[in-house]
Amino acid sequence: MSLVKRCRPRRTRGLPALLVGALALATTLAGGPATAAPQGTLHELAAAQGKYFGSATDNPELPDAAYAATLGSEFGQITPGNSMKWDTTEPVQGRFDFAKGDVVTDFAQQHGQTVRGHTLVWHSQLPGWVGSLPPAQVEAAMKNHITEEATHYRGKVAAWDVVNEPFNEDGTYRASPFHTAMGSDYVATALRTAHAADPDAKLYLNDYNIEGLGAKSDAMYALASKLVDEGVPLDGVGMQAHLAVQYGFPYEMRANMQRFADLGLDVAVTELDVRMQLPADATKAATQSAYYRQVTEACLAVERCVGITVWDYTDKYSWVPGTFPGQGSANLYDENLTPKPAYDAVRTALGGDDGGEGGDPGALKVQYRSSDSSAGDNQIKPGLQLVNTGATAASLPEVTIRYWFTSDNGASTYSTWCDWSPIGCNTVTHRVAAVSTPKAGADHYLEVGFGSGSLAPGATTGEIQLRLNKTDWSDFDESDDYSHNAGTSYADAPKVTVYAGGELVWGIEP
């Protein structure tokens, strides 16, 4: 990962002026001091915003002293990755073993951390005897399991993932011995049983691929609404957030969190990681950083989002390579326990400094598609759209975008065009500039700017259809251009860079 580190843009500290102004105003309005960003661990920074920042862990990892030191200091909450699951805690019916889970709660107690219990009822990591029970005996077995475990951890576990992963991708109920025996009522029965055993623990339903709006999160929303209406003891919904750079960011994550919050429920990000196809490179690392930052910003923007847990903090102990061969590098720290750019991105989003390593304070990103059917003709036709992913408005005249390309042979003078944009081409400025020290794939860039306007939080400019040619109309070879990509639908483009107040806020320069 040292390659990624070296390739990262170095930035001066602090937010661009246009964002700082808005933040200072917001802080003043909230009655707090408009002081510099705080120092501190991820959890301290989150705690200053009323949230926790935690990590999963697992028993075989704890003897690793360097690992345990960071787990104990940087994070304010831990979740046992395996040791509170049914196959560990009740491997034989009626014979309970909490030894491994107790090691985790003891660690938490020694380090002043809260614990998320994971998990009481799940179709996976279920000992064989449960699946072999006659359906008529499953309800009693489930109630007994929940009662024994939640009673054992009473006072030591702040929140329980009572039911884990109840849904299929299409929003239907997943098959399990519990669903077979009790139908969808098993969820309410599990929650009531857990509440009776530990009335103080926050009780959650937890699932993956429910971070954005969609069929599966609609199913969770319908279930949560019904349970709330019926007075079933449900306190929150956990969004696992096992993301991947190649699958895009969950659609409208913040709005999705907010609709659960509007039911009167807490929301937690319970298992965050962002995997990628290996080998990692600077582009994937930049997208990963952006995703970690966007999850953090979504949680900060939703009052009922109580905190974020990463599904272990280091690539050294990630579940990803074992489950998705060829994928990895999903965590905030690399396998040598060195923080990655994603760590800086989270810190910065939480309002901290960036550890002196640069960082990504920008709340702007650019998406790009090629509208060019030929990469070898005499025009380059990038479509760009600027998106404000932050919580404050961005002043467009402060913003510029650079699309990097090579001139190939021919004239060194250019004509540039804005063909269409919903914001109006008359507010869009464009020119070509030469790179003083040409780089591979980049001896010129198209610079796009804005004469007026501002971009509200969550807003996009919509597409800006751009075109450029050399004044002698000689051909380009775009295939080696740094920013070029043959994709014809809009996607996050870290190789197209964005500047606010002259500072790089998105992407990686060539």
Applying CB under 6 A, what is the total number of residues that bind ligand G2I?
9
Nearest to ligand G2I by Cβ — which residue?
319
d(CA 504, CA 502) in angstroms, rounded, equals 7
Report, in Å, the least distance between residue 207 CB and ligand G2I. Answer: 8
Sign, CA torsion 404/409/415/420: negative
d(CA 61, CA 74) in angstroms, rounded, equals 16
d(CA 509, CA 504) in angstroms, rounded, equals 9
Query: Closer to ligand G2I at the Cβ: 271 or 297?
Result: 271
Query: Closer to ligand G2I at the Cβ: 87 or 475?
Result: 87
Q: DSSP class of residue 61?
A: G
Q: DSSP class of residue 169?
A: T
Quick check: helix, strand or coil at residue 400? Answer: strand
Angle 99-110/65-74 helices, nearest 10 degrees?
A: 60
My answer on whether omega of the bond before 279 falls inside 30° of 0, hence cis, is: yes
Quick check: helix, strand or coil at residue 506? Answer: strand
Among 55, 82, 283, 392, which residue sits at the site for ligand G2I (rule: CB under 6 A)? 82
8 A C-beta contact, residue 466 and residue 430: yes
Helix (H) or strand (E) run with residue 221 in it: helix 215-229
Query: Closer to ligand G2I at the Cβ: 124 or 471?
Result: 124
Report, in Å, the least distance between residue 319 CB and ligand G2I. Answer: 4
My answer on whether omega of the bond before 119 falls inside 30° of 0, hence cis, is: yes
Which position has the token pair 């790089």?
504
Asked if residue 313 binds ligand G2I (CB under 6 A), the reply is no
Report, in Å, the least distance between residue 156 CB and ligand G2I. Answer: 19
Residue span 151-190 as binding mask against ligand G2I, x where in contact by CB under 6 A, dash where not: -------------x--------------------------
Which residues, in sequence order, are bridge partners of residue 159?
116, 202
Query: Closer to ligand G2I at the Cβ: 240 or 406?
Result: 240
**Interface positions, 102-131, toward ligand G2I (CB under 6 A):** 124-125
Query: Closer to ligand G2I at the Cβ: 33 or 322?
Result: 322
Report, in Å, the least distance between residue 335 CB and ligand G2I. Answer: 16
Report, in Å, the least distance between residue 241 CB and ligand G2I. Answer: 10
Instruction: Give me the catalytic one of 271, 297, 398, 463.
Output: 271
Report, in Å, the least distance between residue 104 CB and ligand G2I. Answer: 13
8 A C-beta contact, residue 382 and residue 446: yes
Give catalytic status of residue 297 as yes or no: no
d(CA 19, CA 390) in angstroms, rounded, equals 9
Query: Closer to ligand G2I at the Cβ: 208 or 221?
Result: 208
d(CA 212, CA 250) in angstroms, rounded, equals 4
Report, in Å, the least distance between residue 116 CB and ligand G2I. Answer: 11
Give catalytic status of residue 252 as yes or no: no
Report, in Å, the least distance between residue 100 CB and ligand G2I. Answer: 10
Among 86, 186, 319, 343, which residue sits at the site for ligand G2I (rule: CB under 6 A)? 319
178: closest CA among 160, 166, 195, 194? 166
Helix (H) or strand (E) run with residue 466 in it: strand 464-470
Instruction: Give me the catalytic one of 139, 165, 398, 478.
Output: 165
Q: DSSP class of residue 328?
A: E
Report, in Å, the least distance between residue 82 CB and ligand G2I. Answer: 4
Residue type present at position 410 = G
Query: Closer to ligand G2I at the Cβ: 81 or 390?
Result: 81
DSSP 103-140: HHHHHHHHTT-EEEEEEEE-SSS--HHHHHS-GGGHHH
Secondary structure of 427-447 in HEC code, one letter for each residue? HEEEEEEEEEEEECCEEEEEE
Residue span 221-260 as binding mask against ligand G2I, x where in contact by CB under 6 A, dash where not: -------------------x--------------------
Report, in Å, the least distance between residue 164 CB and ligand G2I. Answer: 6
Residues 6+ apart with CB under 8 A from 100: 59, 80, 82, 83, 88
Q: Which two tokens stand for residue 396?
A: 């467009």
**Interface positions, 202-221, toward ligand G2I (CB under 6 A):** 208
Task: Estimate to the nearest angstrom the gap between the alpha carbon of 150 and the chain centroid.
Answer: 30
Residue span 352-391 as binding mask against ligand G2I, x where in contact by CB under 6 A, dash where not: ----------------------------------------
Pick left, alpha or beta for residue 158 (phi over 0 → left; psi -120 to 50 → alpha; otherwise beta).
alpha
> Can you give the length of the chain in residues?
510
Among 271, 315, 334, 360, which residue sits at the site for ligand G2I (rule: CB under 6 A)? 271
Query: Closer to ligand G2I at the Cβ: 125 or 180?
Result: 125
**Interface positions, 52-81, toward ligand G2I (CB under 6 A):** 81
Residues that bind ligand G2I (CB under 6 A): 81-82, 124-125, 164, 208, 240, 271, 319
Active site positions, annotated: 165, 271
